[in-house]
Amino acid sequence: MATEADLREVVRQATARLSTAGVATPRVDACALLAFVLEVEVGELERRIVLGHGLPVDLAARFAALLERRCAREPLQHLTGRAGFRRLDLAVGPGVFVPRPETEVVAGLAIEELTRRDAGERLVAVDLCTGSGAIALALADEVPGVEVHAVEVSEAALVWTRRNIEETGLPVALHADDVTGRLDTLADLRGRVAVVVSNPPYIPPDAVPIDVEVAGHDPHEALYGGGRDGLDVPRAVVAAAAALLVPGGLLVMEHADVQSGTLTDLLSADDAWQDVAAHTDLTGRPRAVAARRTAIRTPGS
């Protein structure tokens, strides 16, 4: 008769395998997968490890199969079907970009701006290239009374956005639209938005993401920004924000660390923007730009 494997030993062996496979956080991932299989929180798993509990025999094969897929660098979030983002637990999977910690900083900048604005002001925020809906949902979750609109063009991603809006129950209006087009679905919001925030695709066409999980599993349309420098979509975000924002409204946009100078120069050279600032992620790399809309309107806006 098969006996239960000690959880401490299961975690030790899984951690070693994941480390050999090049996973950056092997023990974290081993515990996350094991907790997922056991249907408990990681904290409860750690408690069971301390108490010397075992892995039930009927769950061992499932854990082994998931571990094998993670060793092949399938994203952890695809295996569990969930991704944490600030205070939220979101559904993710093939077809949608997995939200990451650097984007939490971008969302935080937008949230700070919204919370500091006049309490009597009608607060409208727009998340362009929303993907899973992570940023838009975080705004709706953390800023009482804000009116949030989210825009996404990918049909595959929209499946996940709709699911997350439904699961969280947060008030986010979703628009199936293309930021590189006319954005007719947001026509009524032009000149009325306090904050435009975006994590657009921005990778240049000849660059390959370092992480295997990104290069092999995130959708290309969520990664590559178009044009020789990867900034066609970010430039479209800037143009859309110029039309949407009220004077004094804020644009916050994520980008690659090597693009900081290009984007700050682009915004600083345009009379439509003032107070252009670069912002760093948790590792100190420049990963976001913010700029405030002046009173000058663009032609045709």
Q: pLDDT per residue over 31-56, tens digit each? A: 999 999 999 999 999 999 999 999 99
In a domain, 181, yes or no: yes
199 annotated to a ligand binding site = yes
Residue 129 sits in the same domain as residue 277: yes
Is 300 a domain residue? no
Q: pLDDT by residue (tens digit) across 137-178?
A: 999 999 999 999 999 999 999 999 999 999 999 999 999 999
Number of structural domains found in the chain: 2
Q: How many residues does the chain have?
A: 301
Please check whether residues 123 and 63 belong to one and the same domain: no
Residue 299: pLDDT over 70: no
Cβ-contact 145, 213 below 8 angstroms: no
171 is in an annotated binding site: no
Paired sense of beta strands 82-85 and 88-91, if any: antiparallel
Asked if residue 139 and residue 66 are part of one domain, the reply reads no
Q: Which of 52, 72, 92 is the last residue of a domain?
A: 72
The Cα 238–Cα 137 span in angstroms is 21
Considering the domain architecture, whether residues 144 and 46 belong to the same structural domain is answered as: no
Is the same domain home to 26 and 123?
Answer: no
pLDDT, residue 282, reads 86
Domain harbouring 58, CATH code: 1.10.8
Q: Is 204 annotated as a binding residue?
A: no
Give the CATH number, domain containing residue 268.
Answer: 3.40.50.150
- Whether pLDDT at 215 is above 80: no
Q: Which domain holds residue 144?
A: 82-293
What is the chain's mean pLDDT, rounded? 92
Cα→Cα distances 177→34, 155, 209, 269, Å: 39, 10, 26, 28
200 is in an annotated binding site: yes
Instruction: With cut-offs at 50, 70 and 90, classify the pLDDT of residue 297.
Output: low
Task: Determine whether the annotation assigns residue 164 to a binding site.
Answer: no
Query: According to the model, what pLDDT value does residue 37 have?
Result: 97
Claim to verify: residue 266 and residue 150 sit in the same structural domain: yes
Contacts 24+ apart (CB under 8 A), 70-74: 70/18, 70/21, 70/23, 70/29, 70/33, 71/17, 71/18, 71/20, 71/21, 71/23, 72/21, 73/21, 73/22, 73/23, 73/212, 73/213, 73/216, 74/213, 74/217
